C-alpha cells in the first residue's frame, strides 16, 4: 500500500493560504479540507469561497471532510467549488446509501467518517459504497489535539475487512498525526495520513512532510 500524506489546511496561516497550499502541493497527492458548521462540531471553519479560491492554485484532489449536520445539501455547491470527494460522518447518516448515490450523481467521490467512539460495525455494511474510509484519531472539531491510540484496533478491523473483501477503499487516519504517531497508524493499516499541525505548525512544511513520510515508511 503506497503512503499518502494529506495536508489539512485547518491550522495553516489563513493570511497566505494560497501560498501555503502551493508550497506543499508538489510533495503530496491530495488535500484534506475540514468543513465545520458550528453544530455537528462546536467550531466553524470555511466553506465554498475558500475551496473555490484554492481550486485556482492546485489541480490535486480535494477531499472534503464534512463535520456538519446536513452534509447532503452541501454536495452540489461543493462540487461546483471544486471538491473531489465528500466524506460524511456515519453518526449523522446511519444509512448513507442515499447520500452516496447523490455524491456519485454529482461526479463526486464518497467517503464515510467514524468518530473515535463509533465502532467499525457502524460502517461495515456501507464500506462498498466508499472510496475512502476516514477513521478519526481525535474528537473532531479542532486541529492540534493529541492522537487517541484506543482507535487503533478499529483501524485494524477496517483493514482486515477491506482486504478480505477485495476492496480498494483508502483508509485514512485523521487527528494528531505526527512523526511520533504515524508509525502506529501505518502498522494498524492506514494508507492515507491527514496532518494539519505537524505540517503547517512547522517552520518548514516541506521538510515536515518528508519527516512524516520517512516515519511511516520506517514501518514497511
Q: Are 55 and 22 a contacting pair, CB within 8 Å?
A: no
Total residues interacting with ligand DX5, rule: CB under 6 A: 22
Query: Which one of the listed residues 150, 174, 191, 207 is annotated catalytic?
Result: 174
Output DSSP code: residue 68: S
* Cα(173)–Cα(186) distance, integer angstroms: 9
Q: Which three cell numbers stand for residue 198?
A: 505537524
Residue closer to ligand DX5 by CB (options 129, 138) is 138
**197 touches, from ligand DX5, Zn ion, none (C-beta below 5 to 8 Å by class):** ligand DX5
Q: Does 172 bind Zn ion (CB under 5 A)?
A: no
Q: Should residue 189 be labelled a site residue for ligand DX5 when binding is judged by CB under 6 A? A: no
- The residues, any chain, with a CB within 8 Å of residue 211's CB and separated by 6 or more, are 179
Which one of 34, 131, 170, 191 is the catalytic residue? 34
- Say if residues 83 and 58 touch (Cβ distance below 8 Å): no
207 is catalytic: no
Active-site residue flag, 37:
no
Q: Which of 12, 123, 194, 209 is the binder for ligand DX5 (CB under 6 A)?
A: 194
How many Å apart are CA 65 and CA 33, to the nearest integer? Answer: 6
172 binds ligand DX5 (CB under 6 A): no
**Contact predicate 141/126, CB 8 Å:** no
Ramachandran sector of residue 155 (left: φ over 0; alpha: ψ -120 to 50; beta: rest): alpha
The size of the interface with Zn ion (CB under 5 A), counted in residues, is: 3
Distance of closest approach, residue 146 Cβ to ligand DX5, in angstroms: 8
Question: Binding marks (x or -) toward ligand DX5, 118..147, rule CB under 6 A?
Answer: --------------------x-xxxxxx--
Q: How far is the CB of 165 from Zn ion (least distance, A)?
A: 25
- Whole-number Å distance between alpha carbons of 43 and 10: 11
Q: How far is the CB of 173 from ligand DX5 (least distance, A)?
A: 10
Among 30, 65, 89, 159, binds Zn ion (CB under 5 A): 65
Among 177, 185, 192, 209, binds ligand DX5 (CB under 6 A): 177
Whole-number Å distance between alpha carbons of 143 and 197: 7
Q: 72-81 and 97-105 are packed helices; what angle lies between their axes, rounded to 10 degrees?
A: 20
Q: Which residues are catalytic?
A: 34, 174
Amino acid at each position: 500500500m503506497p503512503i499518502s500524506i494529506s495536508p489539512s489546511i485547518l491550522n495553516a496561516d489563513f493570511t497566505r493560504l494560497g501560498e501555503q497550499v502551493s508550497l506543499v502541493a508538489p510533495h503530496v497527492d491530495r488535500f484534506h479540507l475540514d468543513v465545520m458548521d458550528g453544530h455537528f462540531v462546536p467550531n466553524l471553519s470555511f466553506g465554498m469561497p475558500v475551496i473555490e479560491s484554492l481550486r485556482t492554485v492546485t489541480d490535486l484532489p480535494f477531499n472534503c471532510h464534512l463535520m456538519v449536520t446536513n452534509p447532503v445539501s452541501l454536495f452540489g455547491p461543493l462540487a461546483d467549488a471544486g471538491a473531489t470527494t465528500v466524506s460524511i460522518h456515519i453518526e449523522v447518516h446511519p444509512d448513507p446509501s442515499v447520500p452516496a448515490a447523490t455524491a456519485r450523481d454529482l461526479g463526486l467521490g464518497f467517503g464515510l467518517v467514524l468518530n473515535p467512539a463509533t465502532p467499525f460495525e457502524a460502517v461495515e455494511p456501507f464500506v462498498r459504497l466508499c472510496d475512502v474510509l476516514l477513521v478519526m484519531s481525535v474528537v473532531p472539531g479542532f486541529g492540534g489535539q493529541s492522537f487517541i491510540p484506543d482507535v487503533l484496533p478499529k483501524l485494524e478491523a477496517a483493514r482486515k475487512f477491506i482486504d478480505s473483501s477485495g476492496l480498494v477503499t483508502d483508509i485514512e487516519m485523521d487527528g494528531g498525526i505526527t512523526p511520533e504517531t504515524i508509525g502506529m497508524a501505518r502498522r494498524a493499516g492506514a494508507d492515507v495520513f491527514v496532518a494539519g499541525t505537524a505540517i503547517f505548525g512547522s517552520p518548514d512544511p516541506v521538510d515536515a512532510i518528508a519527516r512524516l513520510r520517512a516515519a511511516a515508511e520506517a514501518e514497511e
